């Protein structure tokens, strides 16, 4: 029987992710993706370190065998790098297409989580979860599908450029989904070894921050957020950093606490509802276009959740 606490933690995570996506979309309209990513990593590294001191314990590291410690650190490194590179792809995608298109596509990470959860962790894939997840994923495709042009023959150069951006934005968002799926699975493996999500989240983000900082030595645009010319834009980097603390730092941790309670399959499937929250917020806050198919997509999401929770 699934635990109510797990659902509450998952709901908190998906609402936070939805809100963070709006902050990213708004801020990335003012600043570049690479420096925003590095700035966010610094913010999240500091916050997750504080969370780990308050709610976690580092003592387990000294109790692990050399093999388990090696496996743990590799899993943290893979999770940290995959989520970070996935985030960079997502940031670039947000600069090309609406948040209401980009974010739903990232939920395709479910496609990669299911087989890993079954073959590696031995979790049960119930028919109700698979059917409900399929309906939710179908809603994702509907939410992110392209609007039909009014006049195909007389499209302007601007419309053609927008079409190219749409294709590239969708491709980048799908790439982010693949990497996020890998990150979820590798983090879960590290969580199983350590039994501490707070310390594990800090270590993976710290690894990612170190790697991206080193990459920045050769690609100086990662450090452009700290230059004098960008001083007037520093508030937008701070917005991205704070959103990262709440999403990558806190919401991710709550998600993996929920995984401990309800399992990876059910929890990951439930978070596929995030696009519905994000769509509503995008329309209300960012004033993005309302599309009639949104109503049908919401119906599919509701039906998918009912099947998952009650059948």
DSSP-assigned states of every residue in the chain = ---HHHHHHHHHHHHHHHHHHHHHHHHTTTS-HHHHHHHHHHHHHHHHHHHHHHH--SGGGGGS-HHHHHHHHHHHHHHHHHHHHHHHHHHHHHTTS-HHHHHHHHTTHHHHHHHHHHHTT-----HHHHHHHHHHHHHHHHHHPPPPPS-STT--HHHHHHHHHHHHHHHHHHHHHHHHHHHHHHHHHHHHHHS-HHHHHHHHHHHHHHHHHHHHHH-GGGGGGGSGGGGGGHHHHHHHHHHHIIIIIIIHHHHHHHHHHH-HHHHHHHGGGHHHHHHHHHHHTS-PPP-THHHHHHHHHHHHHHHHHH-
12-25 core/surface letters (b: 16 or more CB in 10 A; e: else): ebbbbbbbbbbbbb
- pLDDT category of residue 150 using cuts at 50, 70 and 90: low
The residue segments making up the domain with residue 28 are 4-146+157-310
pLDDT digits (tens, 9 = 90+) for 218-236: 888 888 777 777 778 888 9
CA distance 190 to 71: 8
- pLDDT category of residue 199 using cuts at 50, 70 and 90: very high
pLDDT at 96 over 50: yes
Average pLDDT over residues 129-150: 69
Q: Looking at the domain assignment, is residue 122 inside a domain?
A: yes
For residue 63, what pLDDT is reported?
Answer: 92
pLDDT digits (tens, 9 = 90+) for 239-268: 999 999 999 898 888 888 888 888 877 787
Region of 263 (left: φ > 0; alpha: ψ -120 to 50; beta: rest) is left
Q: Looking at the domain assignment, is residue 152 inside a domain?
A: no
pLDDT digits (tens, 9 = 90+) for 17-41: 888 888 888 888 888 888 889 989 9
CA distance 183 to 189: 10
For residue 79, what pLDDT is reported?
Answer: 93
Q: Looking at the domain assignment, is residue 151 inside a domain?
A: no
Q: Looking at the domain assignment, is residue 38 inside a domain?
A: yes
Q: Looking at the domain assignment, is residue 121 inside a domain?
A: yes
For the chain, give the percent of residues with pLDDT over 90. Answer: 25
Q: Looking at the domain assignment, is residue 295 inside a domain?
A: yes
Q: Looking at the domain assignment, is residue 257 inside a domain?
A: yes
29-68 core/surface letters (b: 16 or more CB in 10 A; e: else): eebbbbbbbbbbbbbbbbbbbebbeeebeeebeeeeeeee
- pLDDT category of residue 13 using cuts at 50, 70 and 90: confident
Q: Looking at the domain assignment, is residue 178 inside a domain?
A: yes
pLDDT at 149 over 60: no
pLDDT digits (tens, 9 = 90+) for 59-71: 999 999 999 999 9
For residue 241, what pLDDT is reported?
Answer: 92
For residue 1, what pLDDT is reported?
Answer: 44
How many domains does the chain fold into?
1
What pTM value is reported for the model?
Answer: 0.79
pLDDT at 109 over 70: yes
């Amino acid at each position: 029987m699934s635990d109510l606490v797990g659902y509450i933690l998952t709901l908190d995570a998906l609402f936070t992710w939805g809100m963070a996506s709006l902050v990213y979309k708004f801020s990335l309209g003012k600043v570049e993706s690479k420096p925003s990513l590095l700035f966010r990593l610094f913010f999240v590294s500091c916050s997750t370190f504080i969370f780990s001191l308050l709610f976690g314990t580092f003592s387990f590291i000294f109790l692990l065998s050399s093999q388990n410690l090696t496996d743990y650190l590799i899993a943290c490194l893979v999770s940290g790098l995959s989520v970070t590179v996935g985030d960079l792809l997502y940031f670039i995608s947000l600069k090309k297409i609406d948040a209401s298109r980009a974010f739903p596509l990232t939920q395709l990470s479910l496609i990669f989580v299911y087989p890993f959860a079954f073959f590696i962790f031995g979790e049960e894939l119930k028919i109700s979860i698979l059917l409900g997840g399929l309906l939710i994923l179908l809603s994702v495709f509907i939410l992110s599908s392209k609007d039909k042009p009014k006049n195909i023959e007389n499209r302007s150069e601007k419309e053609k450029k927008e079409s190219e951006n749409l294709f590239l934005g969708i491709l980048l968002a799908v790439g982010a989904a693949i990497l996020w799926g890998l990150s979820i699975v590798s983090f879960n493996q590290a969580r199983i070894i350590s039994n501490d999500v707070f310390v594990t989240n800090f270590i993976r983000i710290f690894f990612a921050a170190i790697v991206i900082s080193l990459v920045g030595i050769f690609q100086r645009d990662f450090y452009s957020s700290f230059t004098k010319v960008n001083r007037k834009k520093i508030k937008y980097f701070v917005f991205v950093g704070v959103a990262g603390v709440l999403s990558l730092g806190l919401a991710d941790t709550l998600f993996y606490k929920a995984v401990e309670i309800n399992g990876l399959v059910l929890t990951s499937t439930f978070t596929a509802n995030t696009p519905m929250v994000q769509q509503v917020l995008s329309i209300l806050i960012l004033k993005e276009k309302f599309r009639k198919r949104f109503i049908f997509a919401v119906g599919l999401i509701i039906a998918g959740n009912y099947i998952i929770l009650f059948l």
